[in-house]
Amino acid sequence: MEEIKKGRYRHFKGNEYEVIGTAKHSETLEEYVVYKALYGDSGLWVRPKEMWNETVERDGKTFKRFEFIG
């Protein structure tokens, strides 16, 4: 599975986020990405690593869900 770099990412819908790091679920050992929104209240979020790396289709086009921007 693709490595998740710390840094800024752009969601395919346009908002930006900062990846803080990765974490594992204490019982299932599933990997999660820990990130914060760079807009609004800057809340902290987690998302399964597998989902983070997905591609999504919208309006007949395919995008990476999150694109690393630095």
Within a domain: residue 33?
yes
Residue-wise pLDDT for 7-36, tens only, equals: 999 999 999 999 999 999 999 999 999 999
Residue predicted with more confidence, 28 or 41? 28
Structural domain includes residue 1: no
Domain hosting residue 52, numbered range: 7-68
The pTM (predicted TM-score) of the whole model is 0.86
Domain of 21, CATH number, reads 2.30.30.320
Query: What is the mean pLDDT of the segment spanning 36-53?
Result: 93
- Which residue, among 68, 66, 63, has the nearest Cα to 49 in the 3D structure? 66
Residue 32 inside a domain? The answer is yes
**DSSP characters over 12-51:** TTS-EEEEEEEEE-TTT--EEEEEEESSTT--EEEEEHHH
The pLDDT, as a whole number, for residue 41 is 87
Q: How many domains does the chain have?
A: 1
Identify the residue with better confidence: 1 or 6. 6
Q: Write down the residue that tokens 């050992």 correspond to.
A: 29
The answer to whether residues 55 and 42 touch, using CB atoms and an 8 Å cutoff, is no
- Please check whether residue 17 lies inside any domain of the structure: yes
